[in-house]
């Protein structure tokens, strides 16, 4: 039986750990060739590459570089073109937090979070979209957050970056639609990864209490939606913001 993404070439930024890793593995399990990017954790990247290969993605690779660096995006697009012959699916997932209250937040903290989460997605989109335009088709999925929809205390930098990602995606969807390229946004709620493991007990308790389904989400909960949006079956869905949040937003 062939998978949902058989023969597709996918790029997942920040795909070595957490949600990105789950998306990469799900894609490979559905028959895609998957390349991930990461910035510092070599061991996690090597482990993920190995797992991707075991799932049948023999061209799996982990490219190291900073999402906030436009030159890195160029290098990655060049790699996709040379080694995979193009790119059918781009998931802009790389993201960081640097929480702090507005009145105490340093401008550097604001700039760093926006540079990674928002500028990074723009840089990658700018380099990968031309490959998709040439192919006359593609799937772009940008990983935002419910913080970008409803705000969150202590996250003016993060929420701004994630809200910005929504505007960027809607505009890109309009620009690229005529080439059969869809652009959608997935907005996770509270998901079990290293990012949320950094929160203290009280913050975790409060976050779970706000979830309608009463539990923390798993990275796979997000990956299942990403795989569908990346597939041919989602060809008539574009410019949507879909929350995977257990009803935290209700
Ligand atoms: P995570 O566990 O901290 O993993 C982050 C991944 O991004 C890692 O692979 C990391 O690479 C990579 N990364 C970080 N900074 C990077 C940079 N400057 N350049 C390139 N790669 C970079 O995070 P996560 O929880 O899976 O989050 C993934 C995405 O989902 C983020 O955009 C986040 O904002 C969003 N999100 C998460 C949640 C949640 O509850 N977890 C909720 C809403 C939205 P290294 O391993 O090298 O550090």
Is 249 a member of any domain? no
Domain containing 175 equals 9-244
**Mind listing the pLDDT tens digit for each residue in 30-57?**
999 999 999 999 999 999 999 999 999 9
Is 3 a member of any domain? no
**Mind listing the pLDDT tens digit for each residue in 142-192?**
999 999 999 999 999 999 999 999 999 999 999 999 999 999 999 999 999
Residue from 94, 189, 226 whose mutation best tests the ligand 1 pocket (most atoms within 8 A of CB): 94
**CA 210 from centroid of its chain's CA atoms:** 24
The CATH number assigned to the domain holding 143 equals 3.40.50.720
Atom number in ligand 1 closest to CA 44 = 46
Is 147 a member of any domain? yes
Residue from 24, 63, 95, 186 whose mutation best tests the ligand 1 pocket (most atoms within 8 A of CB): 95
Among 161, 164, 219, which Cα is nearest to 189's?
219
Which pLDDT score, from 0 to 100, does residue 115 have?
Answer: 98
Cα separation, 67 vs 74, whole angstroms: 11
Cα separation, 223 vs 102, whole angstroms: 32
Is 4 a member of any domain? no
Q: Which of 38, 79, 123, 158 is catalytic?
A: 158
- Threshold 0.75, pTM exceeds: yes
Is 1 a member of any domain? no
Which pLDDT score, from 0 to 100, does residue 107 have?
Answer: 98
Q: Report the domain count for the chain.
A: 1
The answer to whether the beta carbons of residues 68 and 14 sit under 8 Å apart is no
**Which residues have any ligand 1 atom within 6 Å of their CB?**
13-14, 16-20, 37-41, 44, 66-68, 93-96, 116, 143, 145, 188, 190-191, 193-196
On the question of pLDDT at 1 being above 90, the answer is no
Largest CA distance in the chain: 56
């Amino acid at each position: 039986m062939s998978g949902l993404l058989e023969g597709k070439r996918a790029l997942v930024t920040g795909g070595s750990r957490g949600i990105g890793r789950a998306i990469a593995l799900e894609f490979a399990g559905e028959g895609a060739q998957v390349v991930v990017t990461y910035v510092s954790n070599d061991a996690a990247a090597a482990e993920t590459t190995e797992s991707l290969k075991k799932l049948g993605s023999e061209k799996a690779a982990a490219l190291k570089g900073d999402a906030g660096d436009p030159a890195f995006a160029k290098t990655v697009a060049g790699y996709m073109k040379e080694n995979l012959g193009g790119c059918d699916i781009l998931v802009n997932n790389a993201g960081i937090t640097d929480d702090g209250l507005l009145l105490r937040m340093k401008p550097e903290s604001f700039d760093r979070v926006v540079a990674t989460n928002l500028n990074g997605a723009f840089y990658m989109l700018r380099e990968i979209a031309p490959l998709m335009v040439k192919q006359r088709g593609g799937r772009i999925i940008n990983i935002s957050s419910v913080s970008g929809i409803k705000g969150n205390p202590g996250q003016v930098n993060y929420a701004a970056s994630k809200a910005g990602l929504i505007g960027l995606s809607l505009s890109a969807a309009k620009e690229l639609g005529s080439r059969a390229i869809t652009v959608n946004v997935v907005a996770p709620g509270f998901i079990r990864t290293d990012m949320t493991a950094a929160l203290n007990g009280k913050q975790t308790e409060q976050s779970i209490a706000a979830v309608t389904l009463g539990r923390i989400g798993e990275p796979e909960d997000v990956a299942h939606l990403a795989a569908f949006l990346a597939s041919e079956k989602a060809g008539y869905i574009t410019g949507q913001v879909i929350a995977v949040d257990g009803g935290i937003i209700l």
